[in-house]
Amino acid sequence: MNDLPIDKDEILKELDLIRDEDLKYCDGRILGSMCTEAHPFAKEVYVKFLDSNLGDPGLFKGTKSVEDKTIEIIGKLLNLDNAYGNIVTGGTEANIMAVRAARNHARNHKGIKNGEIILPRSAHFSFKKAADMMNLKIIEADLDENYRIDVSSVKEKISENTIAIVAIAGTTELGLIDPIEELSEIAYENNIYFHVDAAFGGFSIPFLKNIGYDFPDFDFSLRGVSSITVDPHKMGLAPIPAGGIIFRKKEYLEVMAVDSPYLTVKTQSTIVGTRLGASTVATYALLKYFGKSGYSKMANNLMENTHFLKESLEEIGYEIIVEPELNIVAFNHPKKSPDQLSEELEKINGWKVSVANCPKAIRIVLMNHVTKTHLKEFLKDLKELF
Ligand SMILES: *Cc1c(COP(=O)(O)O)cnc(C)c1O
């Protein structure tokens, strides 16, 4: 550390250079990320609330009321009139909270000590962190031939130690939606906590449904669904970090409450103590700013780009892994491995694609910063590499 203060300008000069090492969303080279550039209006709102601490809501009553309203709006979007929950740092923290609620609930109400959690092989790795922290056993359910969770496999794996079943609405690798309706009934009949991870699909499926896309039900309209994760910092265009966890019942927050003696509230259910209010308020502002029609239009644009990419890839001769349900296209070269093609794409023009694991394939996430023009350039290079 320097002994004497350094001039602001000098520090900023250094930081500008450092920032130049980062990739920029607007260059359109980031093709495998589920994040995107936050909306300018969200950034404007964000800086106004940088000092608000949601961890001590008695001091920041205004910001806390915005969190409550945001949860209410997202809850209604997911067909739940009285929603409980929090805006947290992302899908990971939201999933950890869901697992913790399920674990505690099963412990308090069923006396389960060595809990098991059933989830598909396609589940996000955040559940591994949750299971590790809470000493839970992960029971992996099989996928069907279309890479969605196999319902009969879930049924077989239910045991007296099952504390939760997890399904995904918009898988991280392929953007697919699990058969949530059937799983909801199974969970309901067996009195098991059912969590839907819609970190990716949550800001897309309801809006696409709104304009006539034919998706099966995935939300609280299904009686077995206990909680849903939604990430405003993906297609919601909110600044990082913004994830959402919505619970059907207040008791799921209550089973996680610990005493918080020196604060303005008596208990706290979130994992994080001092919590950022800024992204919550930015999320709220965007929900109002876009409204259903604005988000629907954006979601529709992403789907149009998705279909454009998919069809153009097929024309060149690339193999499409699965018909896209949301804004992700996974494909393979008939001869080159995904790793090889990914390397060549980076070399030829700096393309940053990602490689899916299950199945091995190049995976393109059609986020808001990826324009038709970028896609045409990308396809030109893919044609050359074919
Ligand atoms: C992105 C994602 C997560 C993790 O979210 P973070 O915000 O990166 O913590 C979890 N589940 C799914 C399905 C996701 O797509």
Under-70 pLDDT residues of the chain: none
Q: What is the pLDDT of residue 160?
A: 98
- Side by side, the strands of the sheet bearing 227-230 are 84-88, 243-247, 227-230, 193-198, 162-168, 116-120, 137-141
- Closest atom, ligand 1, to C-alpha of 172: 15
Q: Are residues 255 and 323 in the same domain?
A: no
Q: What is the pLDDT of residue 90?
A: 98
Helix (H, G, I), strand (E, B) or coil at 88: strand
Q: Are residues 365 and 268 in the same domain?
A: no
Counted domains in the chain: 2
CATH classification of the domain holding 32: 3.90.1150.10
Taking the C-alpha atoms of residue 320 and residue 370, their distance in angstroms, rounded to an integer, is 19
Q: What is the pLDDT of residue 6?
A: 98
Q: Is the CB of 173 under 6 A from ligand 1?
A: no
Domain assignment of residue 262, yes or no: yes
Q: Which residues contact 350 (CB under 8 A, 6 or more apart)?
A: 27, 29
Of 287, 309, 339, the last residue of a domain is 287
Q: What is the pLDDT of residue 203?
A: 97
Domain assignment of residue 3, yes or no: no
Q: Are residues 183 and 273 in the same domain?
A: yes
Of 257, 287, 317, the last residue of a domain is 287
Q: Are residues 46 and 147 in the same domain?
A: yes
Q: Is the CB of 199 under 6 A from ligand 1?
A: yes
Range of the domain at 333: 8-38+292-384
Query: Secondary structure of 166-229 in the HEC alphabet?
Result: EEEECCCCCCCECCHHHHHHHHHHCCCEEEEEECCHHHCHHHHHHCCCCCCCCCCCCCCCCEEE
Residue 171 structure tokens: 């898988």
Of 287, 308, 334, the last residue of a domain is 287
Taking the C-alpha atoms of residue 279 and residue 141, their distance in angstroms, rounded to an integer, is 35
Q: How far is the CA of 91 from the centre of ligand 1 (A)?
A: 4
Q: What is the pLDDT of residue 329?
A: 98
Q: Are residues 275 and 366 in the same domain?
A: no
Q: Are residues 34 and 49 in the same domain?
A: no
Q: Are residues 226 and 373 in the same domain?
A: no
Q: List, for residues 292-306, the tens digit of each pLDDT value.
A: 999 999 999 999 999
Its pTM surpasses 0.85: yes
Q: Are residues 250 and 335 in the same domain?
A: no
Domain assignment of residue 103, yes or no: yes
Query: Half-sphere exposure (CA, 13 Å, Cβ side) for 186?
Result: 23
Q: Are residues 83 and 145 in the same domain?
A: yes
Q: What is the pLDDT of residue 60?
A: 97
Query: Half-sphere exposure (CA, 13 Å, Cβ side) for 113?
Result: 0
Q: Are residues 348 and 229 in the same domain?
A: no
Place of tokens 């600044």: 239
Eight-state DSSP code of residue 40: H
Top mutation candidate among 93, 96, 124, 276 for ligand 1, by most atoms within 8 Å of CB: 124
Q: What is the pLDDT of residue 11?
A: 98
Q: Are residues 75 and 223 in the same domain?
A: yes
CATH classification of the domain holding 133: 3.40.640.10
Q: Are residues 233 and 360 in the same domain?
A: no
Top mutation candidate among 166, 174, 200, 227 for ligand 1, by most atoms within 8 Å of CB: 200
Domain assignment of residue 1, yes or no: no
Domain assignment of residue 310, yes or no: yes
Domain assignment of residue 354, yes or no: yes
